[in-house]
Amino acid sequence: MKATQKLHNLGQSLWLDNITRDLLNSETLKRYIDELSVTGLTSNPTIFDHAIKNSAAYDDAIREGLAKGKTGEGLFFDLALDDLTRAADLFRPIYDRTNGVDGWVSLEVSPLLAYDTTGTIAAAKELSARAGRPNLFIKIPGTKEGLPAIEETIFAGVPVNVTLLFSSEQYAAAAEAYLRGIERRIAAGLNPKVGSVASMFISRWDAAVAGKVPEALSNRLGIAVSGRIYKSYLDLLSSPRSQCVLNAGAQSQRLLWASTGTKDPKASDTLYIKALAAPFTVNTMPEGTLKALADHGEIGSSMPTDGRECEKMLEQFASAGVNVSQLADQLQDEGAKSFVKSWNELMTVIASKSKALKQAA
């Protein structure tokens, strides 16, 4: 039995952190679903930047968009929605079979809106309506300005993937926003079943402290922080507040491990997959990590639920001068800026491709 199947049997969902038109056209994504237990997919501006820049598969669609007067951001979302609605349809049987727990794809609002609450709400509603698929998450960053947008978007009945979360405090704030949105739906007599995941970025922790802590602590900060977050997640799931909304028909927001590709070439290429195996969670992994897991990965026991070992490890990082709270805020800010950079690069790619295709016409 492949390690991918073992992880799935343990109760964790395997999602692919990638989308390209070639992946769809070649039926590679379908093969991952059929053979590697993949049950969902995530995307971001960087992924689309690479997909459009490195393939001619989008050229015809870009020509069609240009003929309709589409440019820039408008043209991009047409391309992205084409890909993601196709992917959503591939995952739809899983979504139906799991009653909406699994089988999701994700599309991010413009990163330029990371600190614009009103703009984020409007964009989330519009993109969800355009997609017309029940199993498409709109990704909204868990920044201070993003939190009220998450609440309002959930209240509007739009499924949300809360992204750019790094710490237990940031997770708690995102979970609070989700719960408030659901509680408002219940109070308004609306159906409280609105899907959501809270995405924790893992490997960036270790990249941030690489070479700045003792070798014994190398590649251990992300896992330690994850253990703290996992305990917070389990505590929330068992809380009276969560049980109250579940009793009204809501669905729990699931914890998602993101950025789980190993960045240190000296470390195992499945480091974060093995360490973060846990039921009722999601691990969205790069394509290379998925293949490595299927080829030679090992799945051991589930993550500890008590958080004791991770707190001991975090004490060692504190002794080494790492302020986890400050670093979490820094990483979230850097992540938002990184997505803006990728977004600007994506717009440049679309503009240059558009110009080249016009000249070739």
Q: Which residues pair with 198 in a beta bridge?
A: 162, 255
Residue type for 56, please? A
Contact of 14 with 260, CB cutoff 8 Å: no
Helix, strand, coil percentages for the chain (3-state, nearest 5): 60, 10, 30
pLDDT in tens, 223-258: 999 999 999 999 999 999 999 999 999 999 999 999
The CATH superfamily label for domain 3-360 reads Aldolase class I (3.20.20.70)
Contact of 264 with 210, CB cutoff 8 Å: yes
- Rounded CA-CA distance 252/350 in Å is 38
Cα angle 53-207-334, degrees, rounded to a multiple of 5:
65
What does the block give as tokens for 224?
């330690």
Predicted TM-score of the model (pTM): 0.96
By annotation, the residues acting in catalysis are 139
Lowest mean pLDDT, pick from 123-132, 206-215, 232-241, 352-361: 352-361
- Rounded CA-CA distance 174/343 in Å is 24
Mean pLDDT, residues 294-300 taken together: 94
What does the block give as tokens for 212?
């700045």
* CA neighbours closer than 13 Å in the CB half-sphere of residue 335: 27
pLDDT in tens, 103-159: 999 999 999 998 899 999 999 999 999 999 999 999 999 999 999 999 999 999 999
Strand ranges in the chain using DSSP code E only, listed in sequence order: 12-17, 38-42, 105-108, 136-141, 160-165, 196-201, 254-258, 281-285
